[in-house]
Amino acid sequence: MLDVPGGKVWYQITGGGAGAPLLVLHGGPGISSQYLKPLAALGDERPVVFFDQLGAGRSDRPADSTLWTTQHFVEEVAAVRRALGLSEVHLYGHSWGTILAVEYMKTHPAGVKSLVLASPALDIPAWKHDADSLLATMPDSTQQRVRRHETDGTFDAPEYQTAMMDYYHRYLARRQPWSPDIDSTMAAMNPAIYVTMQGPSEFTITGTLKDYDAKAFLPEIQVPTLFVVGQYDEALPSTVAGFARRVPGAEMKIVPGAGHLGMQDEPDAYCQVIRSFLDRVDAKK
């Protein structure tokens, strides 16, 4: 455990080697890093640093809701780097973690060698539009159940939860059955953070992030950047391609067969994409 503003967070460093460390920012907000465990395979070449953001997973869970802001989590990333002496890092963000990574980059931190923006959520109005388009591919009965309970606000209804699982099995994590890492991540979720920042559900986005849009900042990113996305991702590859075009010199890779949790669906192919990118960046010393 280490100290950050507001409490203590759990962390783990896996592996070692000569490569610059990879600092991993998980999604959510309000879940843990457990689902990202396949990234530990990169530890044969470099330290891989995982941590659970405050309020989530194995970290402290303060009752102070004023902590659930993007600014707080940016300060938390800086605190983790200071505490662990990570003077030079590659920065990986997944889903909400891409918002966190980009907002952290706005503070002009020293020593960030590269960015990996995985399944990015960098334009929340577009995310909502894309989610609606993916829902439209589901059976009519599933769509009707989702819409009815969204309208009624009955997000805890078993019928709604079943419909959401159908959606998740198609676009979140496609490999069945789900791994214990995904199950543990879901079980350790802190709904208070998710509702405050996202909203009550995947399709009803009413939280503080509802108008978030980082597109105007993307051309200012000056470090090597990789966008990685699953073929069947909630982050639509076409939307992600638009983000990649805005970042000077950015690369984009699509992982065949993968959903939003590409590191779980296709771990070998997913990690190889990231490994190749990091190795090339490190080789340009």
Domain edges within the chain: 2-127+180-283
Q: Check: pTM over 0.85? Answer yes or no.
A: yes
Q: Does the domain made of 2-127+180-283 have the CATH classification 3.40.50.1820?
A: yes
- Distances in Å between the Cα of 30 and the Cα atoms of 13, 79, 176, 249, 250 are 21, 18, 24, 32, 29
**How many H-runs (helices) and E-runs (strands) does the chain carry?**
10, 9
Active site includes 276? no
Residues 6+ apart with CB under 8 A from 135: 142, 143, 146, 167, 203
Q: What is the mean pLDDT of the chain?
A: 96
Q: Residues 95, 114, 119, 179: which is the catalytic one?
A: 95
**Residue 147 one-letter amino acid:** R
Q: Are 80 and 2 in contact (CB under 8 A)?
A: yes
* pLDDT value at 219 more than 90: yes
Q: What is the mean pLDDT of residues 30-52?
A: 97
Looking at residue 285, its pLDDT comes to 65
Q: What is the mean pLDDT of residues 153-161?
A: 93
Active site includes 233? yes
Active site includes 95? yes
